[in-house]
Amino acid sequence: AELTVEAVEARREALDVRVDGETRAPVERFGQGGALDVHAIRALKRLGYETPTGIQAQCIPVICGGRDALGLATTGSGKTLAFLLPAYAQISRQRPLRKKEGPMALVLAPTRELATQIANEANAFNRAGVPARCCAIFGGASKHEQLKRLRAGAEIVVATPGRLIDVLHVKNSIDLRRVTYLALDEADRMLDMGFERAVLSICRAVRPDAQRVMFSATMPRNVRWLVNEVLADDFVTISHGQVGT
Ligand code: ADP
Ligand code: MG
């Protein structure tokens, strides 16, 4: 049954989540509402994740509903799965990759450490049965090795902006034509690190009809600017806890 507006508000309040631009209620279980695919739900169980965190509970229905979104939440609130789980749902509905195609989802992260962390999480889900391979691309490591793994096929690529721009200049290295989901993690840090131009040029190289989501711990002016450049006009804002500027 449909929840009343008051019931949706109460559920959000209990999770310390605020939403601007969308009426869908947060989910209480990962499987609720059928937004996520069966492989991801099974993998969540295998990996010991029981209930969604606040940001996940609200991001899952909104992002799986196809909306562009801005997620604002402090460190430790579970933002990685808030953008990975909807990516899996989207990937599961698409035609499999052919040789030399891919990825379907692209994640940008500010540092090698963060890109590695996200890729490790994604690879744990892959080992737990989610049919999406993940490849990480970052500076300070062999480009040759990364290109080799990329060519072996990856539904998800996690990259730092600088190295991805580098790789895009290598002929036949990475084909962005199948990217239908673009996630920017720690957007505030990417801008602080001077990746503004690289991030923008990557966003513009991705199909205009790709879904875009952005996550940040803070909301300073430069992030506001990037939001307006990158997300659709009708994007949804989902925040959890206290967000600084
Ligand atoms: P953030 O990106 O917001 O800093 P992470 O995605 O890195 O947060 O998650 C922080 C920690 O919380 C990780 O150790 C992760 O495995 C754990 N975590 C994420 N979601 C859940 C969940 N639903 N239940 C239990 N632990 C979770
Ligand atoms: Mg994070």
Distances (CA, A) of 35 to 17, 90, 179, 203: 19, 10, 20, 26
Q: What is the pLDDT of residues 133-171, one digit of tens each?
A: 999 999 999 999 999 999 999 999 999 999 999 999 988
Q: Where are the beta strands (DSSP E) in 112-210?
A: 134-137, 156-159, 181-184
The rounded mean pLDDT for the chain is 95
| Residue 1 pLDDT level (bands cut at 50, 70, 90) | low
Q: ipTM value, please give it.
A: 0.99
**Mean of the pLDDT values across residues 162-191?**
95
Q: What is the pLDDT of residues 50-94, one digit of tens each?
A: 999 999 999 999 999 999 999 999 999 999 999 999 999 999 999
User: Which numbered atom of ligand 1 lies nearest the CA of 53?
Assistant: 23
pLDDT at site 2 = 79
pTM for the structure as a whole: 0.97
Going from the Cα of 52 to the center of ligand 1, the distance in angstroms, rounded, reads: 9
Q: At what angle do helices 54-64 and 79-92 cross, to 10 degrees?
A: 30
Residue nearest ligand 1's atom 21 by CA: 78
pLDDT at site 127 = 98
